[in-house]
Amino acid sequence: MTVMTHAVRAGSASAPTEASIGGSKALVIPMEVEFHDLDAMGHVNNVRYFTFMEAARVAFFRHFLDARRIHDLQMIAVEASCRFLSPAHWGEILLVQVWIPRVGNTSFDFRYEMTERETGRRVARGRTVCVSWDYETESKMRVPDRVRRLCAGGGLGG
């Protein structure tokens, strides 16, 4: 079994768990802050949070949609943002919660909340906008129904 970067190893008490946010399916993934995530100031470098979000996005699709190959993802990220709320440090376990709050015709959003496991301290929150992508034609496509079902209301109104 492949273990994603930063994940607390599968089989431990810290495996990903399912949740629900506003009726949307969510996944909570524990990720350990590793030495290479740090900057010269001794806390997680701002760029690494985007790596955490990417790992969470892929874990979400692997968990809920059994995506195993890049083409199974059927998406490309077109926009990403992150708000840094407090510094994270080496050895801390971050709980990265990921869900899809909005689905449009060809695009959908992922949202992320990152908290430190021991204290519940809010570390960061982020968002990515993804476009459903047909890798064969290299063009956007309608968001698949299997993705729509993960969002509250099936993405209606998005």
Given this model, what pLDDT does residue 7 score?
54
- DSSP track, 14-76: T--EEEEETTEEEEEEEEEPPGGGB-TTSBB-TTHHHHHHHHHHHHHHHHHH---SHHHH-EE
Burial of 110 (0-12, 13-18, 19+ CB in 10 A): buried
Given this model, what pLDDT does residue 25 score?
94
The per-residue pLDDT for range 88-124, each reduced to its tens digit, is 999 999 999 999 999 999 999 999 999 999 999 999 9
Taking residue 157's Cβ as centre, other Cβ atoms within 10 Å add up to 8
| Element housing 148 (H / E) | helix 145-148
Question: Considering the entire predicted model, what is its pTM?
Answer: 0.87
Paired residues of 7 in beta bridges: 31
Strands 122-134 and 107-116: antiparallel
Structure tokens at 137: 């034609």
One-letter amino acid at 65 equals L
The per-residue pLDDT for range 1-39, each reduced to its tens digit, is 233 455 544 334 378 999 999 889 999 999 999 999 999
* Cβ contact 123:116 at 8 Å: yes
Paired residues of 18 in beta bridges: 27
The per-residue pLDDT for range 55-73, each reduced to its tens digit, is 999 999 999 998 888 778 8
**Domains, the chain:** 17-155 (3.10.129.10)
Taking residue 146's Cβ as centre, other Cβ atoms within 10 Å add up to 12
